[in-house]
Structure 1
Amino acid sequence: MTMSEKEALTRFGVSMPKYLVEQLDGMISKQGYENRSEALRDLVRKALLEPDLLVKSQSVAGTIVMVYDHHATDLPAILTEIQHDYHHEIISTMHIHLNHNQCLEIIVVRGLLDKIQQLHQTIQVQKGVVYAQLSVTHIDQDEDANHHNHHHHDYHHGHE
């Protein structure tokens, strides 16, 4: 597919209630879009990346954001262990101390959606994890996506 074919625009009409159009226009001006088309294109792109709509065998990249209580019994050790089990899918992690009790951790992931969803669910069900959200931001189109290098790991374990 050439770039011009890929970027060729298709026009279509959309009918929606007046109040919804008004809310859309409010969002558009607040977010600085030039027009409705631009805003709708972004909304559709975002909707199509919803993990539940994607094929489990697809190779994707994204983030898992979690907040947890680091005083929860054994939780930091368990989370470290889980991350070691999924080291092929984890590109990088960033760890932030929010307050005396809570930590925010951002895990950058890349690999098969099925495996990444397993990682997310494993984290989510741990006692002491108060929030865990998987966000897919990219679908790998090329076949070699699974074989990217892992030289840029950036693990931070424990609390200094």
Structure 2
Amino acid sequence: MNQMTRTTITLDAELTEALDSYIARSGASNRSEAIRDLVRRGLNSMPAEKPSASCIGVVSCTVDQTIIGLEKKIRAGRQDRHEQVLFSTSIPIDHDQSFDVSVLLATVEQVNDYAQTLFLERGIKHGSTSLAPVEKNIQSHSHANESAKDHVHLKVRESF
């Protein structure tokens, strides 16, 4: 039998209710079992064996706009990665919440680092990351009446 480590976590009432609902649907016998399952799944969803692989990553989450300073932290996080961020937007949901999306061209490790830093902020919920493997190819050719120059073309790969 594996040795277990006791870890104490604090969940708000809404997350506790969602966890209990998951337990009822999944057949888990208790919260510890359900949390172990969810942690395993979360860790398996990140292709850690290919951290330097290039990808297009979509990072999305809901943001509680009432948390003072949170929007500034989000902007700073994107600004710190200005060479990776292709697109970002914030869509108002109601007076207090927004749905934020950022698209990055980076390595798997860089996208996951950004996502995990963001998702750990108080006021961030429903964080999700989607990764599409790409290969960068540098090609030299001309467009219209321009002279030939090197530039990057992306090719979507089947897998990492």
Quick one: distance in 1 between partners of 2:50 and 2:97? Answer: 34
Q: Which has the higher strand share?
A: 2
Partner in structure 2 of residue 24 of structure 1: none
Quick one: distance in 2 between partners of 1:108 and 1:61? Answer: 7
Quick one: distance in 2 between partners of 1:135 and 1:97? Answer: 21
Partner in structure 1 of residue 5 of structure 2: none
Quick one: distance in 2 between partners of 1:84 and 1:111? Answer: 14
Partner in structure 1 of residue 50 of structure 2: 55
Distance 1:148 1:83, change over 3 A: farther
Compare relative contact order (CA 8 Å, sep 6+) and give the higher one, 1 or 2. 1
Give the C-alpha shift of residue 76 in structure 1.
0.5
Give the C-alpha shift of residue 143 in structure 1.
5.0
Partner in structure 2 of residue 141 of structure 1: 135
Q: What is the number of residues matched between the two proteins? A: 98
* CA root-mean-square deviation: 2.2
Task: Indicate if the aligned counterparts of 1:63 and 1:107 stay in contact, CA closer than 8 A.
Answer: yes
Distance 1:51 1:102, change over 3 A: same
Partner amino acid, structure 1, of 2:114: L
Partner amino acid, structure 2, of 1:142: K
Does residue 77 of the first structure (1) align with residue 75 of the second (2)?
A: no
Q: Which has the higher helix share?
A: 1
Give the C-alpha shift of residue 87 in structure 1.
1.3
Runs of 4+ in structure 1 over 4 Å off: none
Task: Indicate if the aligned counterparts of 1:91 and 1:110 stay in contact, CA closer than 8 A.
Answer: yes
